Amino acid sequence: MLDSAIPDHLHCTRTQPSSLPPNFQPPYPSYSVRFPEHASQLVMAIIGAQYPTAAGADDGAAQSTLSTFLTSPTNPPSFFEWASVTDNKGFYNLSALAYWPNKAAYEAWAEQSGFSAWWAALDTHEQEQEQNDPGWFLEVFFPTMDRLETLFNTTDAAEGCAHMGEAMSGEVREHGYWGSMRDRLPLSQTDRLAGTPATTENSHTASSTSTSTGTRVRIKIPGKKNLTVIRSGQNWSNTSPSERALYLETMHPVLTKGMDFLRDRGDEVGCYSCRFMEIVSDPMVADKSSNNMDRTFGLAYFDDLASLERWCKEHPTHLAIFGGFHQYARKLDNNVTLRVFHEVMVLEPEQQLFEYVGCHPGTGMMWMTGSG
Ligand code: HEM
């Protein structure tokens, strides 16, 4: 007996069609996170520092500053971890990915930890700015539970928002066919979740606000109707040497190509931003061997859920990964220990916050200002 990915309390009468084929049996098991029934939303924040080169981050100053806030005793995140990426302008971006159970907890943390005051003062520190001062970015998402779905191929390792779940579902019915991501989103039962096409004519030049002090620009980007955010993760830390080699030789290179395409030519498919990130060590953990580093994730922002669906279904890179995954499983006699998961959010404009201080113009949602 399969579970529905949509928990009982979020089920309602459909006015929108589902893509679930009749009598469909998924070819392999997958699971969704179950959150407490009283949870009405969650928060995911990406708080990052941007350096012209990776060496800029060697002094650990950015991580140490952000760690002080993130480990504050009042309303700290339920979970956070660190990840990095060198972007296509050669800049090194080091971010904390942090999760709170609701907006009130996030806002209380931001106030009481001193983060808000520090963040607000960043650009006025221009006079004292050191050569090695990084740019900073803050991207925060506040999805209500009806605008969130998750999929995991195993139940033994929590990732991302699963750290706030109370359990994993049983094997879910809605996966293994195109359109299943949409079918797992509770709001898709009654809403087409249409976004606004990402075109430069549609950019936020007029409505974004930017202030500059010397060379340091602070820019705020307003949210977009039904912006779609995906964090899609891969964890090969638990694989045998032969599975590890198979993953790194066959899947990882194709995945990298797909992520490079979304990063460099995302505008062709409605993708505003894509970062293919590696989990990096936590400076507060003295025993570095306890940091689990064989993990990556793609973090991408799309103008519309349909654009993300189309990329998955039509782009040769994801098609190759998708098809390759089945061959991969066959080669391993279905004993796959590679863990893959994703979390997808489709957000109202007021459920998004984007702010960039002293970052280069191709960062995150900044390309929409017309300067990217
Ligand atoms: C769906 C494999 C990376 C986006 C799937 C499915 C598989 C798969 C097997 C079908 C899942 C199911 O419904 O049972 C993989 C593997 C990856 C990978 C092995 C990496 C090694 C990514 C990345 C993204 C992505 C990086 C986007 C940033 C999606 C989406 C779906 C999907 C959105 C759902 C499509 C739909 O239901 O319409 N992937 N994928 N995947 N993948 Fe990936």
pLDDT of residue 127: 46
Confidence of residue 371 (pLDDT cuts 50, 70, 90): very low
Q: Which is nearest to 82 in space by CA: 116, 111, 45, 38?
A: 45
Q: Which is nearest to 160 in space by CA: 101, 255, 80?
A: 80
Element (H, E) at 47: strand 43-51
Q: Is the pLDDT of residue 128 over 70?
A: no
What is the whole-number distance in angstroms between the Cα of residue 69 and the centre of ligand 1? 34
Is 11 an active-site residue? no
Q: Is the pLDDT of residue 290 over 80?
A: no
**Residues 38, 204, 342, 360: which is the catalytic one?**
342
Number of Cβ within 10 Å of residue 4's Cβ equals: 18
Q: Is the pLDDT of residue 52 over 90?
A: yes
Torsion sign (Cα): 240, 245, 251, 257 = positive
Q: Is the pLDDT of residue 369 over 60?
A: no
Q: Is the pLDDT of residue 132 over 90?
A: no
Q: Which residue has the higher pLDDT, 285 or 150?
A: 150
Confidence of residue 207 (pLDDT cuts 50, 70, 90): low
As a whole number, the mean pLDDT across the chain is: 91
pLDDT of residue 206: 41
pLDDT of residue 284: 58
Which residue has the CA at smallest separation from atom 16 of ligand 1?
A: 321
List pLDDT tens digits, range 297-348: 999 999 999 999 999 999 998 998 888 888 888 888 878 899 999 999 999 9
Contact by Cβ (8 Å): 225, 196: yes
Measuring CA to CA, how many Å separate 93 from each of 27, 81, 118, 368? 38, 14, 19, 19
Q: Which is nearest to 340 in space by CA: 214, 235, 217, 206?
A: 235
Ligand 1, pocket-test mutation among 149, 232, 255, most atoms within 8 A of CB: 232
Cβ(32) to ligand 1 under 6 A? no
ipTM confidence: 0.94
Cβ(162) to ligand 1 under 6 A? no
Ligand 1, pocket-test mutation among 277, 318, 330, 339, most atoms within 8 A of CB: 318
